[in-house]
Amino acid sequence: MTRPVLYMPRAFATSEGRLDGYQLTGPDRTGRDGEVRAMAVAGTGKVDAAVMDRFPALEIIAKFGVGYDSIDVAAAQARGIVVTNTPDVLTEEVADFALGLLIATSRQLPQADAYLRAGHWPQKPYPLTFSLRGRKIGLLGLGRIGQAIAERLTAMKLEVAYCTRRPRDLPYAHYPDALALAEACDALVVIVPGGAETAGLVDAAVIEALGRQGILVNVARGTVVDEAALIAALSTGKLGAAGLDVFEYEPQVPQALIDLPNTVLLPHVGSATEVTRRAMGDRVLDNLDAWFGSGKVPDRVA
């Protein structure tokens, strides 16, 4: 049996031998577009109707990641193309990371590290920072990762509240919209999917509602937060600090965010560990193998 042609824009980690069943192609190799039956995609690069039309034999797009807002799902459905993602295998890793970013942002861990390395400590102790003690943490999104973050926050003896479209049967206070949540909380952790539905959900009013000592952490997608409003609030002291793993036009990061002392900025590395990236790669291959085997894919999102 001929092996299906799999288009992979760049190599990603999978266990030994997992790619053996496929003929690999990608942007660096030309002339196979018409034979491509499967596509594995990573990152935030757009897979839109024009891309799909370049591959007339395409049957399945397998996203290496849980967020699939970079894929035009309606265009895929219109062409009968299946779309899959990699849920669950990164949940705990990303939750650990979100907690790390929240603590790093409030306690200014990277700034304090830079202070020590620059040799300032012998002259003057590092200034005092924000505390998470006694503060209420809002989660915008309480899905797989949001719940894992909530469990960690509870273990840290912090009060948790959340906003989702549908309230969950969980022991945290639910708020109907992002503004009401921000008004009730001291810090907001954003962990909703990206895409048109959530674009700009965290706007100037939400950001300012967190207040002068407020903290915003975004581990979701850059599009969810109004970046210009965030820069304005951080620059004028209307928001205390922000920890960001994702950006509106990543990998481009506004110089204004880089220049601010009250930001912790990371290059979209929420799931970026060897073990988790390998598990994600394996999950991509589980979906592709299932499609070309039984035709029933475990992680079908469209």
Residues classed as catalytic:
221, 250, 268
SS3 of 14, please?
coil
| Shortest Å distance, C-beta 166 to ligand NDP | 4
Residue type, 190: V
Take residue 218 and report the two structure tokens written for it. 């975004």
| Shortest Å distance, C-beta 24 to ligand NDP | 25
User: How many other CB atoms are there within 10 angstroms of residue 27's CB atom?
Assistant: 9
Euclidean distance between CA atoms 86 and 96, whole angstroms: 18
Choice between 25 and 84, CB closer to ligand NDP:
84
| Shortest Å distance, C-beta 269 to ligand NDP | 7
Give the HSE-up count for residue 237: Cα atoms under 13 Å, Cβ half-sphere: 0
Tell me which residue of 249, 113, 136 sits closest to 189, measured CA to CA: 136
Choice between 4 and 67, CB closer to ligand NDP:
67
| Shortest Å distance, C-beta 174 to ligand NDP | 10
Cis peptide before 110 (omega within 30 of 0): no
SS3 of 205, please?
helix
| Shortest Å distance, C-beta 207 to ligand NDP | 16
Question: Minimal CB distance to ligand NDP: which residue?
Answer: 143
183-221 b/e with 16+ CB inside 10 Å = b? bebbbbbbbbbbbeebeebbebebbbbbbeebbbbbbbb
Residues that bind ligand NDP (CB under 6 A): 66-67, 87, 90, 94, 141-146, 163-166, 191-194, 197-198, 219-221, 245-246, 268, 270-271
Take residue 154 and report the two structure tokens written for it. 């509870």
